[in-house]
Amino acid sequence: MRKRPFLLASLTLGGIFLFFLLVIFASGMINSGSVVVSVGEKIGVLEVNGAIVDAHRLNEQIADFRDRDNVKAVVLRVDSPGGGVGPSQEMYEELKLLAESKPLVVSMGSVAASGGYYIAVAGERIFANPGTITGSIGVIMSFPDYQELMGKVGIKSQVVKSGKFKDIGSPTRSFTAADRKLLQAMIDDVHQQFIEAISTGRKMSLADLEPLVDGRIFTGRQAKEVGLIDELGTFNDAVRYAGNAVGIGADPDLVYPEEEKVNLIDRYLQTAASRYLGVDLTARPQLGPQYLWHVN
């Protein structure tokens, strides 16, 4: 009989412990995005922050919102100077598919330039702050030249190649006239692809775009004057527009994509490298032509 109160107390404490463990577990899953409870009509929010390096994650989010019936419209928030040509074009194509099935409204943050502007023209309505930096409609490639440095330290490079252009852009030799002509033709073609996307998205003729596509940047207010955006307004203005456009009001519920899961070791290493070494372990080298507002 003496053991029964101890047993009851142990069971009670165990039950309380399990209850709080379940609460913590469920809370952690919801906060990490593993459990999504989505009821009622909502506006989806997609975000593009920083340099555009890889389209995979955003394109997964686009596909998810495209397939969810309760997501009636999407607001794309862009705060990016652009990035790789390929990833920018992949994002743009997926956003166009999304815009065919539900309204896509774009909100520009501090910067939505070059590739950041490229993806924005997939939207049916573009909002920017008056001071947003946008435009920079152009393409850039840069190549380092180490020849002088190598000569000073006595280093030489020997190359065996299958054709005269195989080592084009090498930092160990000078550009030839043929190199420059070939690369310029490639850059001009990629630039023309950018202009054609803007012409389609903004319903502007190539002739009207010609004075705007030399790489110059615009403020949001200047961009509105020349037709590159539609409205001066904030993210909240874009949300209100999207909500009204689909008939769910100016104060709609918002839904964001699930957060990307990062294991604890990777998160610790990334934080330590950033804090103590000033190194971003997630950064990837930018290769090839760039739709990038190049400010370095």
Catalytic residues: 114, 166
Q: State the amino acid at position 228 in one-letter form.
A: L
Do 53 and 83 contact (CB within 8 A), yes or no?
yes
Q: Report strand pairing: 71-80 vs 82-84.
A: unpaired
Do 88 and 82 contact (CB within 8 A), yes or no?
yes
